[in-house]
Amino acid sequence: MDRVDVPGGVLRYRVRGDGPPLILLSTLSGGWTRQVPELSREFTVVTYDMRGFGDSPSSTGFPSNAEHADDLTVLLDHLGLPTAVVVGMSHGGLVAQHFAAKYAERLVGLGLVATFAAPHGPTQLLLRMLYGFLERDDLANFWEVLRCFLFTARNAGFLLRRETGLKQAMFDQYQTASLRSIYGQAIEHDSRDWFGGLSCPTVVVGGAEDMLFPPILAERLAGQVPGSRLVMLPAAHIPPVETPRPFNQLLLQMFGR
């Protein structure tokens, strides 16, 4: 992985492909393994581990989501990219909202995947339960509960067959403290007063069977961006992993040349 220095640490990133720049934004870059090969044929795809996670060390503790958005601008400047399409998934979707609110002029397209403007009642309770496991340093039960929400019942076999690889790509690089940072900020996230009014093409993608961040949250988030497109895929919490083909086709349709 290449590297760029940012205030308070380093970002490790990869650039693949040739075309309009597309930033795939999630806490760890491993969440996009089913997107990069196809999308890099159309886009210049940039993935990276956020500061404080994976291979991107932080010297100042775990950044706020607003600080993660600032880090992205440093990466764009380093790569010589004045503008880009940014697609954020889950935690990355929260960071993408901060980026869009602060740096709207650098967006030519925005995708918000499996994320929310503010956690709905049941989601708030589930996030607090998961956060409670982390406060008790109980990663085993944290994973046992979280894994129930990742895929639909019909694709549970997919998870079981790939659980070790999935955990390594998306979760095993976390420490309890880093997960507490993510979930603590998710519980407090509320962009209803400051996110919206974008002029760039925007798509909000949810899992039609996502019980962690249910469809109503995607609908409310899309409602904050007039003219945005709302797409519900037949998936649970991580549509890019569970339904990669329709997800990739959606991004190509929305943002391709």
Task: Write out pLDDT tens, residues 95-112.
Answer: 999 999 999 999 999 999
What pLDDT sits at residue 171? Answer: 56
In a domain, 54, yes or no: yes
What pLDDT sits at residue 237? Answer: 94
In a domain, 98, yes or no: yes
Task: Write out pLDDT tens, residues 151-184.
Answer: 898 877 766 676 666 666 555 556 778 889 999 9
Instruction: Note whether 167 and 114 are within 8 A (CB).
Output: no
Which distant-in-sequence residues (6+ apart) come within 8 Å of 5 by Cβ? none
pTM of the model: 0.94
Q: Which domain holds residue 80?
A: 2-118+190-255
In a domain, 168, yes or no: no
CA torsion sign, 91 to 78 to 30 to 49?
A: negative
In a domain, 128, yes or no: no
What pLDDT sits at residue 173? Answer: 54
In a domain, 145, yes or no: no
Mean pLDDT of the chain: 93
Q: Which three-class secondary structure state does DSSP give residue 37?
A: helix
- CATH (domain of 226): 3.40.50.1820
How many of the other CB atoms lie within 10 Å of CB of 132?
A: 13
Task: Write out pLDDT tens, residues 224-247.
Answer: 999 999 999 999 999 999 999 999
Q: Which three-class secondary structure state does DSSP give residue 12?
A: strand
In a domain, 147, yes or no: no
In a domain, 199, yes or no: yes
In a domain, 157, yes or no: no
Q: How many independent structural domains does the chain possess?
A: 1
Instruction: Note whether 100 and 203 are within 8 A (CB).
Output: no
How many of the other CB atoms lie within 10 Å of CB of 194?
A: 13
What pLDDT sits at residue 57? Answer: 86
Size (the chain), residues: 257
How many of the other CB atoms lie within 10 Å of CB of 20?
A: 17
Smallest CA-to-CA distance from 80 within 106, 110, 109 is with: 106
Burial 25-61 (b: 16+ CB within 10 A, else e): bbbbbbbbbbbbebbbebbbbbbbbbbbbbebebeee
